Amino acid sequence: MSITHTIEEISQRIEQSMPESLREGKQEFEKAVRQAVSNGFSRMDLVTREEFDVQTQVLARTRAKLEALEQRVAELEKHHGGPSDNEEGDMAS
């Protein structure tokens, strides 16, 4: 759901909950509500669904690379007798 759609939905809900006498200034009210809701969303640190999905894919690829590197390091340590005491200390810091 897009932010624009969400703003529109919130605006409609507020309008529907108002008494008829207040609905007469509908255009002015809609504009004010949309602006207020839009300002509220702009102060939040939101991303679009597309941006979120892209970052999720980047994270998945990064995790896969990290796992492959960890496995490679484990294999190298196994073939070379494991990390030396000095190397272990360097890795911990």
- The per-residue pLDDT string of the chain (93 residues; one tens digit each, 9 = 90 and over) reads 677 788 888 878 887 887 777 767 777 877 888 888 888 888 888 888 999 999 999 999 999 999 999 999 999 999 887 665 555 555 554
Structurally, the chain folds into a number of domains equal to 2
> Which range of residues forms the domain containing residue 17?
3-43
- My answer on whether 53 and 88 are in the same domain is yes
Nearest 5 degrees, angle CA 60-CA 78-CA 90? 75
Are 61 and 86 contained in the same domain? yes
**Does 56 lie in the same domain as 39?**
no
Same domain, residue pair 84 and 70: yes
Check whether residue 55 and residue 82 sit in a common domain: yes
In this structure, the answer to whether residues 55 and 88 fall within a common structural domain is yes
Could you tell me if 33 and 66 lie in one domain? no
Which stretch of DSSP H or E encloses residue 30?
helix 26-43
